[in-house]
A and B are shown apart, each in its own frame.
Chain A
Amino acid sequence: GQQVMQIPQYQHVQEGEDFTTYCNSSTTLSNIQWYKQRPGGHPVFLIQLVKSGEVKKQKRLTFQFGEAKKNSSLHITATQTTDVGTYFCAGNRNTGFQKLVFGTGTRLLVSP
């Protein structure tokens, strides 16, 4: 079945440093979504990427979708303590109904 892997599993940075998490799917995706989960909370949607090679930005966050639509990355510039949490990518092979397969997640810890 479809598998989505994320690296690294965990990263601890100092506030102000950059952070990147990478997501790789075993199959070509129709789209990919990114979610953030704060400690003790539930996943919250950040963004969806659909087009091959697409790049989207949300303030300090930059999301990329690979040319082959099998990988993606999330880069945070100048991390803040509010960025703490686990970041998940979620891949979807369908063009209509969203049946998301979540990655294993990257847990980010930011020290002040």
Chain B
Amino acid sequence: NAGVTQTPKFQVLKTGQSMTLQCAQDMNHNSMYWYRQDPGMGLRLIYYSASEGTTDKGEVPNGYNVSRLNKREFSLRLESAAPSQTSVYFCASSGARAVEAFFGQGTRLTVV
């Protein structure tokens, strides 16, 4: 049972480059989320998808776009990476009546 799978685990980008972070869950969950984690800041919600076909902005959406490709997959795209986007990115999912959010292993992104 894989749970929530994120790829890649590590990435280094140059300023201005673009990339897509992939996330897939195999728990048939309706809701999926992208968070970023910075030292001393906790986890901040970037975007979320309450159900397949819908996406919404979280606390810190600027510089990001998302796609809910199907019920399983939710990707996060950085169109023009900036050093301020250096962070650890976590994808998470939760079910319609599930109490908890399940997190992926994280993607450590460095923008130089």
Contacts and interface: CB of A to CB of B under 8 A. Distances in A.
Given A44-B103, A45-B100, A45-B101, A99 B43 contact: no
Contact of A103 (B31, B42, B98, B104): B42
Interface string B82-112: 0000000010101000111111111000000
A97 B95 CA distance: 9
A107 to B, nearest CB: 9
A42 B105 contact: yes
Contacts, number: 53
B2 interface: no
Contacts of B41: 104
B71 interface: no
Contacts of B50: 97, 99
Interface residues of A, number: 22
Contacts of A6: 42
A48 interface: yes
Interface in A23-48: 33, 41-45, 48
Interface residues of B, number: 24
Given A43-B90, A88-B43, A104-B41, A33 B104 contact: no
Contact of B45 (A97, A99, A103): A99
A85 interface: no
A102 B104 contact: no
A105 to B, nearest CB: 5
Contact of B101 (A1, A4, A100, A104): A100
Contacts of A99: 45, 48, 50
Nearest to B4: A42
